[in-house]
Amino acid sequence: MTDAKTTTKRKGPKASAGVWTDEERAAMQESARERKASSRRGSVDERAAGERDIRAKIAEMPGPDRAMAERIHALVTATAPLLVPRTYYGMPAYARDGKVICFFQAASKFKVRYSTFGFQPEASIDDGDMWPVAFAVTKLTPGVEKRIAALVKQAVS
């Protein structure tokens, strides 16, 4: 005799309850708004609109995150001026040919103890068979700034 399989499918409004945090859900909604706004822009407007969007997101951040985001924005735009500023899930990001290369996630975004500077698969940061794609940042020291600049330079090479 075979055992019958039982399924426990949830139905109704609680079906996805607990799957995403409020912060994650908000980030997904931001992403949808960003894609919609991006589809309306021409390529000429893209850089200026992206710069405005990033500045607005940075302005919303609490003091320590804002200071770090402003400095990282300056580092990335100085190191790789070919990257186009834009937002990515409501975070400052930098893209080439419409694809995000790197991004900054403030600690306050998901209420964690450190900010993150990360890279997407389009970034050329490969190093052998395994390499990091995101870095926890708690403080921007001259050494950390130098490392970020070097990684961004490598990412766009």
> How many domains is the chain partitioned into structurally?
1
How do residues 121-145 score in pLDDT, each as one tens digit? 999 999 999 999 999 999 999 999 9
Per-residue pLDDT at 19: 85
Q: Is residue 12 in some structural domain?
A: no
Per-residue pLDDT at 34: 67
By residue range, what is the domain housing residue 32? Answer: 21-155
Coil, helix or strand at residue 119: strand
The domain that contains 107 carries what CATH number?
A: 3.90.1150.200
Helices (H), the chain: 22-40, 43-60, 63-79, 142-155
Q: How many helices (H) and strands (E) does the chain have?
A: 4, 5
- Please give the Cα distance from 41 to 64 (Å, whole number): 32
Look up the pTM and report it.
0.75
How do residues 57-113 score in pLDDT, each as one tens digit? 999 999 999 999 999 999 999 999 999 999 999 999 999 999 999 999 999 999 999
In single-letter form, the type of residue at position 137 comes to V
pLDDT category, 10, cuts 50, 70, 90? very low
Q: Is residue 134 in some structural domain?
A: yes
